[in-house]
């Protein structure tokens, strides 16, 4: 029988440990979403289950706009750091998705259609006045992360999008079922994301799996994705604290009345708590 020395065994074990397995790494990334993605946040459970008052829906639309508005800024920041034309070419459609062309607009304009549908002045929403400080802090942290961290981590932080199609489908179904304002025009943002996100995810995931070629890099990428789940969760925590129980709106936050321009059919419904 061939004898293997203890030192050879140790060397072999360490080689095995340092050789990252692509499949198990992808599994590890997906497990982060299964455990921490914001579909599980109580605010989303309320929103999709028809438990939010219209005021709470409006607060969400106002605050979430801040995230929308910063996404193309973070993508532009990302592109500005890359000297690789192939990477920039693949990435630039993200900016087009959100900004669109002059005539048709993109995701930002579609979000403002949602703002109109819930009876808010879209100019107010676009101004980002009334956005909670906690929302700004969380979203700005994402922007800084993508500006400053290694490219691998910057791409990995976008991978929460792997979990977004399910939340967008659940949201379309939930809003249509429970809220009179919800129609195709109001929900166009989410339907369009269902078309856009899969290609972005395929590219981002491929990039991360290719470039995380050591255990150390895999750990860094997993931490980046975890950080991003925190960014998303924190936005909903601050919203919940301000507009759900006990409804403590901090200084500077939308007061529940400003910029409400149109009576929405949902104003009539005796749903949940109203501010």
**Residues lying near ligand PQQ in the complex (CB under 6 A):** 71, 158, 160-161, 164, 167-168, 193, 232
| Pick 168 or 178: Cβ nearer ligand PQQ | 168
Minimum CB distance to ligand PQQ, residue 99 (Å): 12
Shortest Å distance, C-beta 9 to ligand PQQ: 43
Q: How far is the CB of 217 from ligand PQQ (least distance, A)?
A: 20
118 vs 167 by CB, closer to ligand PQQ = 167
Helix (H, G, I), strand (E, B) or coil at 41: coil
Q: Which of 48, 260 has the CB closer to ligand PQQ?
A: 48
The DSSP element (H or E) to which 257 belongs, if any, is none
The position carrying tokens 């605050």 is: 63
Minimum distance from residue 33 beta carbon to ligand PQQ (Å): 9
Residue with tokens 């967008």: 168
**Considering beta carbons, is residue 65 or 243 the nearer one to ligand PQQ?**
65
Nearer to ligand PQQ, 243 or 260 (CB): 243
Distances (CA, A) of 203 to 9, 266, 268: 38, 40, 45
Please, which residue, 44 or 217, has the CB nearer to ligand PQQ? 44
Smallest gap from residue 167 Cβ to ligand PQQ (A): 4
Closer by beta carbon to ligand PQQ, 58 or else 260? 58
Phi-psi category of 182—alpha, beta or left, where left has phi over 0 and alpha has psi -120 to 50?
beta
User: Distance (Å, rounded) from C-alpha 261 to C-alpha 56?
Assistant: 16
Q: Kindly report each contact of residues 85-89 with a partner whose C-beta sits within 8 Å and lies 24 or more positions away, as own/partner.
A: 87/207
Q: What residues have CB less than 8 Å from 148, skipping those under 6 apart?
A: none
SS3 265: helix
Residue in the shown chain whose Cβ atom is closest to ligand PQQ: 160
DSSP string covering 216-239: HHHHHHHHHHHHHHHHHHHHHHHH
Write down the least CB distance from residue 161 to ligand PQQ, Å.
5
Residue 260: phi, psi to the nearest 5? Answer: -85, 110
- 91 contacts 151 by C-beta, under 8 angstroms: no
CB of 173 to ligand PQQ, least distance (A): 14
């Amino acid at each position: 029988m061939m004898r293997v020395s203890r030192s050879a065994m140790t060397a072999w074990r360490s080689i095995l440990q340092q050789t990252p397995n692509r499949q198990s790494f992808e599994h590890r990334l997906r497990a982060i979403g299964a455990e921490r993605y914001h579909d599980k946040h109580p605010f989303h459970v309320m929103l999709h289950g028809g438990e939010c008052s219209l005021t709470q829906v409006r607060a969400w639309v106002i605050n979430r706009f801040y995230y929308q508005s910063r996404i193309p800024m973070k993508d532009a920041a990302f592109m500005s750091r890359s000297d690789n034309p192939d990477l920039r070419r693949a990435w630039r459609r993200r900016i087009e998705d959100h900004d669109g062309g002059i005539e048709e607009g993109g995701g930002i304009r579609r979000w403002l259609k949602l703002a109109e549908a819930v009876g808010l002045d879209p100019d107010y929403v676009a101004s980002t006045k009334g956005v909670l400080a906690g929302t700004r802090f969380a979203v700005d942290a994402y922007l800084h992360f993508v500006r400053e961290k290694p490219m691998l981590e910057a791409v990995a932080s976008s991978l929460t999008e792997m979990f977004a199609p399910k939340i967008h489908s659940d949201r379309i179904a939930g809003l249509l079922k429970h809220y009179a304002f919800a129609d195709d025009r109001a929900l166009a943002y989410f339907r369009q994301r269902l078309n856009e996100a899969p290609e972005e995810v395929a590219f981002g995931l491929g990039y991360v799996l290719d470039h995380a070629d050591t255990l150390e890099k895999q750990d860094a990428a997993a931490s980046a994705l975890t950080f991003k789940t925190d960014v998303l969760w924190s936005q909903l925590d601050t919203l919940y604290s301000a507009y759900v129980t006990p409804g403590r709106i901090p200084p500077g936050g939308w007061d529940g009345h400003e910029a409400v321009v149109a009576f929405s059919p949902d104003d009539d419904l005796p749903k949940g708590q109203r501010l």
